Structures are given as structure tokens and as C-alpha cells.
Amino acid sequence: MPAKAPPVPPHIAAQLEALGKRIRAQRERQKVTATDAAEAAGMSRVTLHRVERGEPSVTMGAYASAMSAVGLSLQVREPKAPFASALPAVVRLDDYPALKQLAWQLPGVTELSPAQALDLYERNWRHLDREGLAPQERRLIQTLVDELGGGRLLV
């Protein structure tokens, strides 16, 4: 039974999917069956298909073996520019109505740090009207969870 996929940010999931597609395209270009490629890589056909779909729960070793079996190699390169954080430096309560309601007990406060905002969302999750959240606020929550919460909302 496959392992449960770890939470991964969308940009990493897209990279894994692109890598899987590249492995599959190379295998098909060489007219190698999935069974033969899996055998050459030392894995089951099912695992090879999971690699080709870009599933994050597959080990890095399985990806490397699949790549080697079809004649590809993995290279790591330095980014041209440092990754910019999607987190705002401060979270303005006026920009996020649900968060402003959750912060009712903080009189006079108009801004929070991202960590404080995540803490408020987590502690008061049961009081939040999740269906009524604006798209901007949904994105903020997801960004806070991805960058500060390790991909997991603690509720």
C-alpha cells in the first residue's frame, strides 16, 4: 500500500508532475514498456506509474532509479534569484474580514505578524465561516499554512 502523500506546496507538486511526465515521455520515446522500465529500475510497475504521475510520496531513490532506467540524469542547479516569500510582512486586519472578526479581543490592533494571524486562525477555526471566506483570505490562510505551518493547519 502506498504511503500517504506528504503535504507539498503547489509549486513543488507541479515540479514533481513535470518530472514524472518527462520520465514517461523519455520511456515512450524509446518505445520501452512500463514493465520493462520498471524491471530495469528495480521497482514494481505500479511504483513506476506513481513516479510518472509525479506523486510526492514516492521516494527520491525511486525517481532516480526510474530516470536512470530511461537514460536521464538528475541535476541540481542554484536558483537565479532567491525565492520570494508569498507571506506579507504584516497582515492588515482591514484586508481580511474574517480575521478581523477573530481579532475582536485585540482592541486598537490593526496589523498582525503572519505568525500571529496563523495562530488566530488555528485557535478560532471552529468559529470561522469557511464557506463565506473571500478568495483573498483563503489564499492568505493557505500561504500561512504552507510557509509557517509546515503544510498542516493545527485545528
pTM over 0.85: no
Q: What is the pLDDT of residues 4-63, one digit of tens each?
A: 766 888 888 999 999 999 999 999 999 999 999 999 999 999 999 999 999 999 999 999
Q: What is the pLDDT of residues 75-133, one digit of tens each?
A: 887 777 666 678 889 999 999 999 999 999 999 999 999 999 999 999 999 999 999 99
CB count in 10 Å sphere of residue 127: 9
CB count in 10 Å sphere of residue 136: 10
What residues does 17 pair with on adjacent strands? none
CB count in 10 Å sphere of residue 80: 5
Amino acid at 31: K
For CA atoms 40, 41, 45, 49, the dihedral sign is negative
Q: The domain 10-69 is classified under which CATH number: 3.40.109.10, 3.40.50.12780, 1.10.260.40, 3.30.420.60? A: 1.10.260.40
Residues of the chain with CATH 1.10.260.40: 10-69
